[in-house]
Chains A and B, each alone.
Chain A
Amino acid sequence: MSFSIRKSLHPGLNLGEDHGDDRLEAETSVFGFWVFMMSDLVTFGMFFAVFATTMPLACCPGPKELFDLGSVAWQTAFLLASSLTSGMAILTLKQEHASRSASTKKLVFWLLVTVLLGCGFLYREISDFIAMAAAGGPPTRSGYLSALWSLVGLHGLHVTGGLIWCLVIVAGIVVRGVDHRWKLTLLRWAVFWHFLDVVWIAIFSFVFLGGLL
């Protein structure tokens, strides 16, 4: 089996050859995570499908009463920006951390900025949920609202998980340095974070914009 420099071992950004064994081990590890993400995509797809079959009921609050497009715009900005900063973090990982001795400051910086932006997203989203419930639109009110809250909420849960994961990674890097395991974890985390971004685009197009048009 010969390796060409351009051969990509798994989808997405691959570590360079200078990462040695880490690059080879990333093949199974990161590829496997992509496969797992496919199953997660199907789960989201099922929540989307159920959402698509529901319609706001005449008796209960619907998109016009409940959606705050401005807030959704902010959430989108936060999340997309955090995707960008997470990309910066991975680029830093690829370019600077082939050897174990590099300084982790830049990497940790980008990761923490990502967490901050993600928290901004969550803060706006939770505020929106609280407002919706106060306006008479809790998830227990109708089928449409159940589907809405659970789809958007499932995404929010994933974002929360992703942020906790990122903080664990930061802690790990600070304590142990960017060793083999944290490198692979970071690559997987990045796939997860971009995936959430893609799902969000579908949510804000299909749920929020779609609901108001």
Chain B
Amino acid sequence: MLDAIFGRLTWDSIILVQAVEQPNINTFITAGAAAMMPVGGVMIVALLTWMKWWKPLFEWLTSVDHKKIGTMYIIFAVIMLFRGVVEGMLMRANQAVGLNGGFLSSDHFNQLFTTHGTNMIFFVAMPFLFGLINIIVPLQIGARDVAFPRLNQISLGLTAAGGFLFMISLMIGEFSTGGWTGYPSFTGRLVNPGVGPDYYILAIAISGIGSTLTGVNFSVTIYKLRTAGMSFMRMPLFTWTALCTSILLIFAMPPLTACCAMLGLDRFLGFHFFTNDMGGNLMNFINLFWMFGHPEVYILILPAFGVMSEISSTFSGKRLYGYTSIVAATMCIAVLSFTVWLHHFFTMGQSATVNAAFGVATMLIAIPTGVKIYDWLATLWGGRIRFTAPMIYLCGFFVLFTIGGLSGVVLASPTLDYQLHNSQFLVAHFHNVIIPGVLFGILAGIHIWFPKIYGFRLMEGLSRITAFLWAIGFILAFMPLYQTGLMGMTRRTVAYEDPALVPWMIVSGIGALILGCAFLSILLTIFVSVLNRKKLMVPIGDPWDGRSLEWATPAPTPEWNFAVLPKVDCRDAFTDAKAKGTAYQPIEKYEDIEMPANTYYGFIIMIMASGLGFGLVWHMWWLAIASLLGAIATAITYAFLPQKQYIIPAAEVREIDEAWRRSAREGRGITRDDEGNEANQGLARPDNITNP
């Protein structure tokens, strides 16, 4: 009877019990980390109760507003980033003392590199980007919300459910040890029958479905909800990259869902998709996984490229150079990203013809990427460059990401890949393009758009320090790995035997420490900024003399985004309006605004998906079936419930909007000299330009 209820879950599955039964450094570290969850949970409940924040919390959890959903994505990503940075630091610390064996057991280390990769890709980078796109794209295209607000909430719920499974594996059971790529037959039923690979499959498949739906949502939003006059070639670059990212999501996530489903069928029902025997072919998993995996990395980098476009024009006070080229390059990258997946397994034994073809295809992607970097540099030419935190991120990107691109070209050659595949050189390469590329883009994007959502800027000084810490930490932690890779050190190795590697590993460990400080610096920056928010307020909403429509709203942006949907007739529409003097002019006619009401739909789906995943992992079939039926019942019920809207009366909209426009027209505004100080109320005056 107990077996039927609890499946294969026993007391020993809980890490806190394991730490008592087998006390050693590995169980202590894991138990400590796992204990943070209930302790943190209790603290949060206490805080919510003391501050009486329960009602606002449920306001947020049931909201379908893209700005709130985007914020929740970002908060989720920050929490997961904390775990990811700790995992990275543990690994690098172990490697620093890893000659002939570090302080971590092999099993612990193996789970660490698996969780680190899985976490960072699926639960940090993607949620960060979905959050930014969610918040900003509807504003940039002059829309009230995304095309499918309820679906947006469901996507968030599915991502959170994947994250739940990922986090609960720390406390109950264990995670996979097969790397974030999870190749069978190592992750097959015979070699790894435990719960680890099941957690892995379900966490990424469930959140993967959420991501597919997000791709549908964003692409339809950009395709159909652009405001009057905004043709495709008048969209801001961040929106362009969001569009290409969405298209990639739509086509690249299904292969992941498919290969996870197949591996699941192998593990749960004994199918022979990827088994060694009876006609199974593990190469199929690898092909499917990388058909997802390669476009995935472009899903990560394209929005960051979009942010770089925004930074290079806004913070040099100039139009973006080569708009058409950059758009063309972005679309080329999106298309080509589907033609190169084999370069992740050049060494799998296929013919030289196949390898050469994919090698050349991979080289082709370097062309549009290079063009974009040149275009951003050219954007700075003829400008007036301000060294704000985003500009520091852009400069760091120029120098460091380019090195990552160089190492990518090296790896693109099958000849060299036969040496460097699965070595530390590879690890250095992908961190080199992800940290100065994706992460810098995300952090810069947060710095730029934070004031839009919360109404106050982040402290400039602390933000700059954060940027430098990330850059220096990255350089120390990952540049040595290029060398160790060339020296022959492989990846995913808990220890090594060559003493010559030790100095490089120590430098790398120091770098990891600095990266830990960089993460704390983010938290400190936000915390201190919140404390000082009164001095940092920018209520009129345009702190950076922005160029696109999102800056033509108050800060924080009201629920409806735009009181009246704007009309545009050129690129950089807001800059154009400011120059012509048509910005902030009074509006004659206000109308009632209909907004979709809050709903529990996404929240319930999150609970059902979590239950389904947990039930499947632990073979608690009753839980899995009940959750699945519950999800279906929820969908059917919501199909019958009337879809509520609520109306914001025109009078209320008029009052808030008119007050904002009036304060903008009557305010003095600032030149960029005062951008970083208290005088910046979010109103821009034409800048004080000196010419030599």
Which A residues form the contact surface with B (CB < 8 A)? 1, 27-28, 31-32, 35-36, 38-40, 42-43, 45-47, 49-50, 53-55, 57, 60, 139-147, 149-150, 164, 168, 172, 175-176, 181, 185
Complex Cα distance A32/B155, Å?
Answer: 15
Instruction: State whether A57 and B257 are in contact (beta carbons under 8 Å apart), knowing that A35-B219, A46-B288, A181-B643 are contacts in the complex.
Output: no
Residues B272 and A35 in contact, CB atoms below 8 Å apart: no
Distance between Cα atoms of A55 and B279 in the complex (Å): 8
- B262 located at the interface, meaning its Cβ lies under 8 Å from any Cβ of chain A in the complex: yes
A146/B254 in contact, CB under 8 A: no
A-B CB proximity, top 3 nearest: A143-B279, A46-B258, A146-B271
CB distance from B593 to the nearest CB of A (A): 16
Query: Judging by beta carbons under 8 Å apart, are B271 and A150 in contact?
Result: yes
Give the segment of B110-118, B220-228, B360-368 that binds chain A: B220-228
Q: Is the interface of A mostly helix, strand, loop or mixed?
A: helix
Give B residues with C-beta under 8 Å from A.
Answer: 147-148, 212-213, 215-217, 219-220, 223-225, 228, 250-251, 253-255, 257-259, 261-262, 265-266, 269-273, 275, 278-281, 284, 287-288, 291, 632, 636, 639-640, 643
Q: How far is the CB of B574 from chain A (nearest CB, A)?
A: 22
Given A150-B265, A172-B640: A39 touches B258 (CB 8 Å cut-off): no
Instruction: Select A46's contact among B224, B271, B291, B636, beta carbons within 8 Å.
Output: B291
Q: Which residues of chain B come closer than 8 Å to A50, judged between CB atoms? A: 258, 262, 273, 284, 288
| Interface contacts beyond A50-B262, A53-B284, A150-B265: sample of 13 additional A-B pairs, CB < 8 Å, sorted by A | A27-B224, A35-B220, A35-B250, A36-B250, A39-B216, A39-B251, A42-B251, A46-B254, A46-B259, A49-B288, A54-B279, A141-B272, A143-B272
User: A143 touching B281 by the CB < 8 A rule?
Assistant: yes
Q: Evaluate contact between B270 and A143: CB separation under 8 angstroms.
A: no
CB of A33 to closest CB in B, whole Å: 9
**What is the CB-to-nearest-CB distance from A172 to chain B, in angstroms, rounded to a whole number?**
6
Say whether, besides A1-B228, A39-B212, A172 and B251 are in contact (CB < 8 Å). no
- Can you list 26 A-B pairs with a CB-CB distance of less than 8 A? A28-B147, A28-B224, A31-B220, A32-B216, A35-B219, A39-B216, A43-B255, A46-B291, A47-B258, A50-B262, A50-B273, A50-B284, A53-B284, A55-B279, A139-B269, A139-B271, A139-B272, A140-B272, A141-B272, A142-B272, A146-B273, A150-B265, A150-B271, A164-B632, A168-B639, A181-B643
Give the residue of B213, B251, B279 whose beta carbon is less than 8 angstroms from that of A38. B251
Q: Is the CB of A28 within 8 A of B225?
A: yes
How far, in whole Å, are A57 and B259 apart by their CA atoms in the complex?
22
The CA-CA distance from A146 to B267 in the complex, in Å, is 12
Residues from chain B with a CB closer than 8 A to the CB of A150 are 261-262, 265, 271, 273
Residues of B with C-beta under 8 A to A45: 254
- Decide: A35 near B216, CB < 8 A? Known: A146-B265, A150-B265: yes
Q: Are B262 and A172 in contact (CB under 8 A)?
A: no
Q: Is the CB of B278 within 8 A of A143?
A: yes
Q: Kindly state the separation between the CA atoms of A28 and B255 in the bound complex, as whole angstroms.
A: 26
Q: Which residues of B contact A57 (CB under 8 A)?
A: 278-279
* In contact, B639 and A146 (Cβ under 8 angstroms): no
- Which residues of chain A come closer than 8 Å to B219, judged between CB atoms? 35
Instruction: Known contacts A39-B251, A172-B640; decide if A143 and B280 are in contact (CB<8 Å).
Output: yes
**Identity of the chain B residue whose Cβ is nearest the Cβ of A180 in the assembled complex:** B643
Q: Chain B nearest CB: distance from A59 CB in Å?
A: 8
Q: Which residues of A contact B258 (CB under 8 A)?
A: 43, 46-47, 50
**Considering only CB atoms, which chain B residue lies closest to A1 in the complex?**
B228
What is the CA–CA distance of A154 and B271 in the complex, to the nearest angstrom? 14
Rounded to whole angstroms, the CA-CA distance of A55 and B215 in the bound complex is 35
Residues of chain B contacted by A40 (CB below 8 angstroms): 254
CB pair A39–B215 under 8 Å, yes or no, is: yes
Instruction: Report the Cα distance A146→B215, complex, angstroms.
Output: 30
Q: How far is the CA of A151 from the CA of B224 in the complex (A)?
A: 34
Contact B643 A144 (CB under 8 A): no
Report the minimal beta-carbon distance from A139 to chain B, rounded to whole angstroms: 5
| A175–B215 alpha-carbon span in the complex (Å) | 34
Q: Which of A35, A42, A60, A175 contacts B640 (CB 8 A)?
A: A175
Residues on the B chain within 8 Å of A149, using CB: 271
Contacts of A185 in B (CB 8 A): 639
A57 to B279, CA, bound (A): 7
- B281-A172 in contact (CB<8A): no
A150 to B258, CA, bound (A): 10
Minimal beta-carbon separation of A48 from chain B (angstroms)? 10
- Of the candidates B220, B254, B259, B281, the one whose C-beta lies within 8 Å of that of A28 is B220
Q: Is A147's CB under 8 angstroms from B273's CB?
A: yes
Q: Are A142 and B279 in contact (CB under 8 A)?
A: yes
Cα of A47 to Cα of B255 in the assembled complex, Å: 9
Which chain A residues border B271 with CB–CB below 8 Å?
139-140, 146, 149-150
A185 to B643, CA, bound (A): 13
Q: What distance in Å separates the Cβ of A112 from its nearest Cβ neighbour in chain B?
A: 18
B250 x A39 contact (CB < 8 A): yes
Bound complex: CA of A117 vs CA of B460, how far in Å?
67
Bound CA–CA A7/B22 (angstroms): 71
Question: Among B225, B278, B279, which residue has the most Cβ atoms of chain A within 10 A?
Answer: B279
How far in angstroms is the closest Cβ of chain A from B594? Answer: 12
Cβ of A142: which chain B residues have Cβ within 8 Å of it? 272, 278-279
Complex CA distance for A168 and B271, rounded to whole angstroms: 33
Q: Which residue of B lies closest to A161 (CB)?
A: B632
Chain A residues within an 8 Å CB radius of B636: 168
CA distance A45 to B225 in the complex (A): 30
Smallest CB–CB gap between A66 and chain B, Å? 15
Instruction: Please indicate the chain B residues that have their CB under 8 angstroms from the CB of A43 in the complex.
Output: 254-255, 257-258
A212 to B181, CA, bound (A): 36
